[in-house]
Amino acid sequence: MKYDIYFGDHEYRFALGRSGKRPLVVIGINPNKADAFQNDPTIRKIEEQLEVWREFDGFLMLNLYPIRASKPELLNQFEKDLAILNAALIRQLLKGMTKPVVWAAWGDNFDCNPFLNYCLREIQNATIDLAICWCQCEKPTENKNPRHPIGGRPHVITAKSVLSDFDVWNYLRRKPAP
């Protein structure tokens, strides 16, 4: 196995990662093809950044919504119970970490599906009592969304990129409620 943390199947992926004493937690929109045995372009980019950032010795890839789709705009079904389950699982995974660093990494596709706002609110509400350090990489997009690891042409996130604070509550206030 390439990754020792994997909760999912061919239809869903709740978590994927590599264990470490100080893992970087990344939250994207939805999973693509990566599983316990293979990565995809997003996971490869995260692993490249970990080589540069060195303060993290593992990672945990989570998503706002766990249904696999090759493009977030193809997510045309919303199951509220699935979003609630995803938030609860994220809470369980983060609960055991000391001050987890969470990279908000969903990009402009966040605006494609109004239910993603609901999913982020569920995650934030489920983890509000945890000492999470929310971050983003590079400046937000023109639409004020935190950048996806491989979003933009040319790719904005490079070896020189750093993580900076991300105010998730302020972000949610600016986005229309579902």
DSSP state of 3: -
β-pairing verdict for 5-8 and 13-18: antiparallel
What pLDDT is stored for residue 15 in this prediction?
98
Give the residue from 96, 105, 109 showing the smallest Cα distance to 146. 105
Q: Which of the four pLDDT bands, split at 50, 70 and 90, describes residue 151?
A: confident
Give the model confidence (pLDDT) of 16-59 as tens digits: 999 999 999 999 999 999 999 999 999 999 999 999 999 999 99
Give the start-to-end residue ranges of the domains of the chain: 5-174
The mean pLDDT value for 90-94 works out to: 97
Q: Which of the four pLDDT bands, split at 50, 70 and 90, describes residue 73?
A: confident
Alpha carbon distance 147, 22 (integer Å): 22
Distance of CA 158 to the CA centre of its chain: 18
Structure tokens at 140: 């937000």
Give the model confidence (pLDDT) of 95-137 as tens digits: 989 999 999 999 999 998 889 999 999 999 999 999 999 999 9
Angle between helices 115-127 and 80-95 (to 10 degrees): 30
Alpha carbon distance 15, 27 (integer Å): 10
Q: Helix, strand or coil for residue 25?
A: strand
Please, what is the Cα angle at 128 between 124 and 132, to 5 degrees? 90
Q: Which of the four pLDDT bands, split at 50, 70 and 90, describes residue 144?
A: very high
DSSP string, 140-175: PPTTSPPPPTT-TTTTS--TT--EEE--HHHHHHHS
